[in-house]
């Protein structure tokens, strides 16, 4: 769909025009500001947790165990999405942030009382994971109410770009601060960032008049509407959400591809380090260069998504984008040269940045508002489950199969997934 241009700001896809959305849509600006601050705290939390686990146990595997348990909270995604559709989304986000800040403060409190044990970190991790399963779909469902339909791509691109930059800076700054401060002080800082985010969400005023419905938004059949006095159970609402995801041709075609993409590409995050050390012979420095290259590509893709969407049909962007996500991985495996590999990772990040933004914005325009929480709850939950599963399988295979073969298979599998989308009219014909 070629969205009409409402103002000159949106007609000039640039960094400046994307930041202008923060002024044009002040409620979105409040949400964005809070999330930027919170992202710094998230980076500090991750680093401080790893450091504290090492201090408590000295085990290299214990952090993996905590991560695995936290990943399992993705099973709550379907339930969380249904609850988000029942509750006020702004208040769901507000209470989630307040509770996450309080949960984080338990760590320095227990440490101060000299009662800290490793199982406490498991409990905190589970609580944080469950609350995030509520917060994230609520946020994705709220954004379409804060900006106009034609501004969604720019708003999502701005959010993703800021999150990527701030998380990277947060990890770098957090590593430095760990030399000067204790891990518990970083946990306190993270709790403060949740408080800042909660304040910005409290200040948000969701417009009472809904924006005009985009042309491609799905209208639920009358049978899906509640009769007067009728009440559905939570399980019925979850089942209704899953039925919607199966019945909508665009959603049913793209969601499996999105989940499989997370599964297929997950091993790259682990195996790139081994590739740099064992194949390229560049060690940690080469690994850092390649990780940075992928990050640069994502940022360039985020910057370009809004402008490219106006020039190229979304269906073509998604189908060819998924194909082009896989081909650079094959090329990387066939020519193990640091500089060539860096170029391929920039290309992968660029395409990834565009496809992710286009898909999220398309879903926000298309999925009915009353179904948005269940949709994003399922999508985020399934993707979270697919990623650690892919890492585990890819890491295990690397003990028996050359990494180049794993990369080649992953790239070809991704390209094949993209080719299947050409046979899906709902995707290929998306304007």
Statement to judge: residues 153 and 284 lie in one domain: no
Q: What is the mean pLDDT of residues 137-163?
A: 91
Locate the DSSP E strands across 332-373. none
User: Final residue of a domain: which of 207, 230, 253?
Assistant: 207
Statement to judge: residues 112 and 193 lie in one domain: yes
pTM exceeds cut of 0.75 = yes
Which CATH number goes with the domain that contains 184?
Answer: 1.20.1250.20
Q: Which domain holds residue 162?
A: 23-207
Statement to judge: residues 327 and 202 lie in one domain: no
Are 283 and 344 contacting, i.e. CB atoms less than 8 angstroms apart? no
**CA 307 to CA 12: how far, in whole Å?**
8
75 in any annotated domain: yes
260 in any annotated domain: yes
Statement to judge: residues 138 and 261 lie in one domain: no
pLDDT in the model for residue 139: 96
**CA 284 to CA 293: how far, in whole Å?**
14
180 in any annotated domain: yes
Mean pLDDT is lowest, of 11-25, 131-145, 154-168, for 11-25
- pLDDT > 90? residue 427: no
Statement to judge: residues 182 and 277 lie in one domain: no
Place of tokens 């395409």: 351
Confidence of residue 10 (pLDDT cuts 50, 70, 90): very low
8 in any annotated domain: no
Q: How many residues does the chain have?
A: 431
Residue with more model confidence, 416 or 18? 416
- One DSSP character per residue, 45-114 reads HHHHHHHHHHHHH--SSHHHHHHHHHHGGGGGHHHHHHHHHHS-HHHHHHHHHHHHHHHHHHHHHHHHTT
233 in any annotated domain: no
Statement to judge: residues 84 and 142 lie in one domain: yes
pLDDT in the model for residue 92: 97
When mean pLDDT is compared over 14-23, 176-185, 327-336, the highest value belongs to: 327-336
Residue 207 phi, psi dihedral angles, 5° rounding: -55, 135
- 28-57 core/surface letters (b: 16 or more CB in 10 A; e: else): bbbbbbbbbbbbbbbbbbbbbbbbbbeeee
Statement to judge: residues 198 and 257 lie in one domain: no
214 in any annotated domain: no
**CA 6 to CA 282: how far, in whole Å?**
50
Tell me the CA distances in angstroms from 17 to 8, 9, 20, 219, 355, one per residue in order: 9, 5, 5, 32, 20
Cβ burial, residue 178 (10 Å; 0-12/13-18/19+): middle
Residue of 1, 350, 49 whose CA lies nearest to 184: 49
282 in any annotated domain: yes
Statement to judge: residues 248 and 351 lie in one domain: yes
Average pLDDT of the chain is: 86
Tokens representing 404? 């180049």
213 in any annotated domain: no
- pLDDT > 90? residue 177: no
Statement to judge: residues 138 and 79 lie in one domain: yes
Statement to judge: residues 194 and 339 lie in one domain: no
Q: How many domains does one find in the chain?
A: 2
Statement to judge: residues 283 and 178 lie in one domain: no
| Cβ count within 10 A of residue 311 | 9
pLDDT digit string (tens) for 259-293? 888 888 888 877 888 898 889 988 878 888 888 88
Statement to judge: residues 280 and 203 lie in one domain: no
């Amino acid at each position: 769909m070629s969205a009409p241009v409402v103002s000159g700001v949106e007609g000039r896809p640039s960094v400046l025009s994307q930041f202008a959305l923060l002024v044009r849509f002040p409620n979105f600006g409040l949400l964005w500001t809070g999330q930027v601050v919170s992202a710094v705290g998230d980076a500090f939390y991750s680093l401080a947790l790893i450091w504290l686990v090492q201090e408590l146990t000295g085990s290299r595997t214990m952090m993996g165990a905590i991560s695995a348990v936290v990943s399992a909270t993705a099973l709550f995604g379907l339930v969380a999405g249904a609850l988000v559709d029942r509750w006020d989304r702004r208040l769901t986000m507000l209470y989630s942030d307040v509770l996450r800040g309080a949960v984080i403060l338990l760590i320095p409190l227990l440490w101060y009382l000299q009662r800290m044990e490793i199982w406490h970190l498991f409990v905190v991790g589970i609580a944080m994971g469950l609350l995030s399963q509520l917060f994230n779909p609520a946020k994705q469902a709220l954004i379409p109410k804060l900006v106009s339909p034609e501004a969604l791509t720019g708003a999502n691109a701005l959010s993703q770009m800021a999150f990527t930059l701030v998380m990277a800076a947060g990890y770098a700054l957090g590593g430095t601060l760990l030399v000067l401060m204790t891990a518990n002080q970083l946990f306190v800082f993270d709790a403060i960032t949740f408080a800042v985010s909660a304040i910005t969400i409290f200040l948000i005023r969701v417009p009472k008049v809904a924006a005009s419905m985009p042309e491609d938004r799905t209208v639920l059949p009358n049978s899906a509407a509640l009769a007067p006095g009728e009440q559905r159970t939570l399980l019925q609402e979850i089942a209704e959400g899953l039925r919607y995801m199966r019945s909508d041709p665009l959603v049913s075609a793209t969601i499996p591809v999105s989940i499989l993409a997370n599964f297929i590409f997950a091993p790259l995050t682990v195996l790139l380090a081994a590739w740099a050390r064992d194949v390229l012979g560049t060690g940690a420095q080469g690994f850092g260069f390649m990780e940075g290259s992928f990050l640069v590509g994502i940022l360039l893709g985020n910057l370009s998504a809004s402008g490219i969407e106006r020039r190229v049909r979304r269906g073509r962007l998604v189908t060819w984008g998924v194909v082009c996500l896989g081909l650079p991985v094959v090329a990387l495996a066939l020519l193990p040269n640091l500089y060539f590999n860096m170029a391929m990772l920039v290309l992968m990040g660029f395409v990834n940045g565009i496809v992710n933004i286009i898909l999220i914005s398309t879903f926000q325009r298309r999925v009915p508002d009353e179904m948005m929480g269940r949709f994003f709850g399922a999508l985020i939950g399934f993707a979270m489950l697919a990623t650690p599963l892919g890492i585990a399988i890819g890491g295990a295979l690397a003990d028996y199969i050359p990494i180049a073969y794993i990369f080649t298979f992953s790239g070809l599998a991704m390209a094949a997934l993209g080719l299947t989308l050409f046979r899906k009219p709902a995707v290929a014909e998306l304007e």
